Amino acid sequence: MDALNTFTDHAHLADQTLWQDLEAAEGKEAILSSPFAATPPEMPLTMPAQNLGRYDRSQRRSWQKNRPQFWVWLARLIVFGGGLALTAYGAWQMYQVVSLGGVTPLEWVLLVLFVANFSWIALAFTGSIVGFIWLFVRPPADTPTPKTLREKTVVVMPIYNEAPARVFGAMQAIFEDVEATGLGQAFDWFFLSDTTDPDIFIAEEQAFIAMRERLASKFGSAPRLYYRHRPKNTARKAGNIEDFVTRWGGLYAHMVVLDADSLMTGHAIVTLAATMEADPDSGIIQTLPLIVNRNTLFARLQQFAARIYGPVIAAGVAAWMGRDGNYWGHNAIIRIKAFAGHCGLPTLKGRPPFGGLILSHDFVEAALIRRAGYSVYMLPTLDGSYEESPPSLIDLSARDRRWCQGNLQHLRVIGSAGFHLASRQHFATGIMAYVASPLWMAQLIIGIILVIQASYIRPEYFTNQFTLFPTWPVFDAKRSLELFTLTMAILLAPKFLGLILALTQGKTRRGSGGALPLLISTFFEIIFSALLAPIMMLIQTGHVMHFAFGFDTGWDPQRRDDGSIPFKAIVRRHRSHVVMGVVTLIAGYMISPSLIAWMSPTIVGLLLAIVLSWSTGLLGLGLALRRVGLLLTPEEHDKPKVVERGNVLGEELAAASGHVSNALTVVHNDARFRAFHSAFLSLGPKRPRGQITPEWALAQAKLGEAASLEEAVKWLQPKERLAAVQDPTLIARVAELPKKT
């Protein structure tokens, strides 16, 4: 019993008799070897907050290998030089359109807005040209899985109030796939929980214990699988990762970061680790996650677009950014010591939404590690990286709200000292992704005002300035139509380039149902994108205005399932969009029928906002299109093994665990779990004496007065339950409570 007593003394368990019961039931070796080792011994790294206002360039490391940059600079010349040339041509043509009778102040405003919007789509066009050439000349090929790895890598999955069955099933599927490569010993696995829901927190621990036992049974030894729960989710996801790095980062050379909806094949993870081992200059290597497991019409539209058009766009971005790339926060590998030394995030001065914690931390971390002299790049053709997407327009809007605030906050960061010019371009791209919507809306409004002016306001033909000719508010209709055609061609070109590439690649073409279904699906996606675009314009404009006036946003967990949203909620969310469509239609009819024709895509999209949001969020409609072979992707037609395995495990775990139970009930009823849970707590940070939160005090008082478990369950609010299940003394009190007979 000496070893067991030593371990229990270290763990400071509240209920020693539980250990005796557990030892009798499980055996001493089982106790010491698996579930109680919730975390490995700590090996901290320091992660100092970086100074964004000052940087000593002499501290920047030099690359150990000379990297050829010719193709990168050529890609940059094509993308940015071509984009600039296209924008200049578009600006000149627009000037010709409005200058036929002289340029009025409003027309100058229209011209400026047009140039801003046109430059955005011009860069996307030239980037897709580069990506198309790259993938056409060098099509993706299967690469062999590396045979050896020298260094240790940890795979981390930050989770926050997620369905435990889903995330633990996904992680087990990835674990098994890595083990199948024969290189599993080079990897450890970590769940980094920031969950604040006490019932989900306890369910996570139950799922972790069960997963360790399953893997130990399957592979014959205790798996290198760990779980850490933070009592308080300080600094959100960035703080979650920082907590891991500063406690266990010294154990590992690299870190693969997953999202809660991520899936990756063993081949992809091992290839990332081998690539980073072979490249001492690499700081972050990003993959291109493809969307999988989507069933609603809205999500399948995103899934199809990401699979058919995404590779062309991503290859173009990877080509011009070279080793000065970006990081998307997940499905990527990071050099841990470089990350710890150079990516500590400061707190921005001022109040949210533009001050405080840096929300879109991934862009900033990429810029910081690049500033330190490490490279950041993407492997756009590496297969086996997957994620999921929001199931409905409303869910996408909720996610966009967070991303919008984070990207707009980069206005405070883009000018930071020492950042590479490419890093600043990444910030600018992220900012423009949301600012483009209010710019587009402003362009539409100015256009409407000009039409009203031409229709109802008598023009001032002769101004106070001497002129030989009158000022006529006239547009060049023929040139205007030509410019509109050019704009649409540039806007749609990335989609058609992706379609052409998919048609020429036999595997992609067959996996998408064949040439004809692929063509029909592309047309279908373009129509729906056009109808949804004005709705997203208003939604994103609202987000931008919300933050511009100083309002902050929260951090709620994402809804990842395919359950439908109540119709009343859809009407409430989109009724203002429908009203805007009705007003625009009536105004157009009163002003000029040609205005209605010009704005018809926008008007129709807004009028149908409720119908579109409701119908595209339906599970049945998405599945019906799958049955007839539309919007198919190769990963949907022939599911990767890791995706299929993750789905099966998720369903099995959900069926086995059932509904998430009240945390107090689980801790009270399951003595074996209570011992495990107490051991987990003993290895984490302790509440300092004297630091008493209101939730802890209320939990203690209510548990002290409760005469039964049922009373405690009824009385304690979620935050109080969380405080109770994180304190050994309160857990012991819960265990003592009798149940009503």
**Region of poorest pLDDT, from 33-37, 190-194, 287-291, 617-621:** 33-37
pLDDT at 19 over 50: no
Q: What is the mean pLDDT of residues 697-722?
A: 96
Q: Could you tell me the residue ranges of all domains in the chain? A: 2-33+661-736
Concatenated DSSP letters for 319-359? HHHTTB----SSSEEEEHHHHHHH-BPPPBSS-TTTSBS-S
Closest CA to 375 of 317, 311, 327, 431: 327
Pairing of strands 290-291, 385-387: parallel
Q: Which of 542, 684, 574 is nearest to 232 (CA)?
A: 684
What tens digit of pLDDT does each residue of 201-253 get? 999 999 999 999 999 988 877 789 999 999 999 999 999 999 999 999 999 99
Q: What is the 3-state secondary structure (H, E, C) of 221-272?
A: CCCCEEEEECCCCCCHHHHHHHHHHHHHHHHCCEEEECCCCCEECHHHHHHH
pLDDT at 461 over 70: no
pLDDT of amino acid 98:
87
**What tens digit of pLDDT does each residue of 352-375 get?**
889 999 999 999 999 999 999 999
CA angle, 173 as apex, 656 and 294 as ends, to 5°?
A: 85
Average pLDDT in the 93-116 region? 90
Q: Tell me if residue 738 falls in helix, strand or coil.
A: coil
Grade residue 563 by pLDDT with cuts at 50, 70 and 90.
Answer: low
pLDDT average, residue stretch 692-720: 96
What's the whole-number mean pLDDT along residues 84-107?
Answer: 91
Q: What's the whole-number average pLDDT of the chain?
A: 90
Could you read off the pLDDT of 286-319 as tens digits, one per residue?
999 999 999 999 999 999 999 999 999 999 999 9
- Measured N-to-C along each axis, helices 236-248 and 361-371 cross at an angle, to the nearest 10 degrees, of 50
Three-state secondary structure call for residue 718: helix
Q: How confident is the model at residue 3 (pLDDT cuts 50, 70, 90)?
A: very low
Residues 174, 177, 179, 182: is their CA dihedral positive or negative? negative
Predicted pLDDT of residue 30: 46
| Alpha-carbon span 115 to 94, nearest angstrom | 9
Element (H, E) at 179: helix 164-179
User: What DSSP string describes 487-529?
Assistant: HHHHHHHHHHHHHHHHHH-HHHHHHTT-HHHHHHHHHHHHHHH
> Could you tell me which of 362, 320, 202 has the C-alpha nearest to residue 724?
202
Least confident of 58-72, 326-340, 449-463, 592-606: 449-463
Give the residue among 253, 258, 283 at the shortest CA–CA distance from 269: 258
Tokens of 218: 């399957």
Pairing of strands 385-387, 263-264: antiparallel
CB-based contact 293:379 (threshold 8 Å): no
Quick one: which H or E segment has residue 154?
strand 153-159
Buried b (16+ CB within 10 A) or exposed e, 478-489: eebeebeeebee
φ, ψ of residue 317 to 5 degrees: the values are -65, -45
Dihedrals φ, ψ of 283, to 5°?
Answer: -110, -40
pLDDT reported for residue 481 = 87
pTM, 2 dp: 0.92
H-helix or E-strand spanning residue 213: helix 198-219
Q: What are phi and psi of 544, to 5 degrees?
A: -60, -45
- pLDDT category of residue 604 using cuts at 50, 70 and 90: very high
**pLDDT at residue 58 in the model:** 85
Interatomic CA distance for residues 218 and 583, integer angstroms? 64
Average the pLDDT over 146-175 and give the result: 97
Tokens 């900033």 identify what position?
A: 364
Instruction: Quickly state the pLDDT bin for 10 (edges 50, 70, 90).
Output: very low
- Section 407-435 average pLDDT: 97
User: Between 451 and 341, whose confidence is greater?
Assistant: 341
Average pLDDT value for residue range 420-446: 96
Report the pLDDT value the prediction gives residue 44, as an integer from 0 to 100.
97
Ramachandran category for residue 20: left, alpha or beta (phi over 0 → left; psi -120 to 50 → alpha): alpha
Do residues 225 and 211 touch, judged by C-beta distance below 8 A? Answer: yes
376 pLDDT band (50/70/90 cuts)? Answer: very high
Residue-wise pLDDT for 514-548, tens only, equals 999 999 999 999 999 999 999 999 999 999 999 99
Give me the half-sphere count of Cα atoms (radius 13 Å) on the Cβ side of residue 580. 20
pLDDT at residue number 63:
83
